[in-house]
Amino acid sequence: MKDVKVLGPGCKRCNTTAEMVQSEADKLGIPIALEKVTDYAAIAGYGIASTPGIVIDGKVVHAGGLPKPEDVARWLSA
């Protein structure tokens, strides 16, 4: 199971990103533990200045703006 965190204050883009990650994981049949991180100190701890950010298994893979679904699929498959 992959540990996935979506970093952001809970804005529309952050929620859309979380939904996209879950949707791509479901399409690929990859089980994930999805967590939304909204605490600014925790977000800053990942070195993210712009949100939404995505962290997969402890590694920051995306920061700022909506990711492309194909990129999310690639990150989850890695």
pLDDT of residue 41: 94
- Three state DSSP letters for 14-64: HHHHHHHHHHHHHHHCCCEEEEEECCHHHHHHCCCCCCCEEEECCEEEEEC
pLDDT of residue 62: 98
Please give the single-letter amino acid code of residue 8: G
From the number of C-beta atoms within 10 Å of its C-beta (0-12, 13-18, 19+), residue 65 rates as exposed
Question: What pTM value is reported for the model?
Answer: 0.96
Superfamily assignment of 2-77 in CATH? Answer: Glutaredoxin (3.40.30.10)
Q: Residue 26: pLDDT band by 50, 70, 90 thresholds?
A: very high
- pLDDT tens digits for 31-68? 999 999 999 999 999 999 899 999 999 999 999 999 99
Domain borders along the chain are 2-77
pLDDT value, residue 48: 92
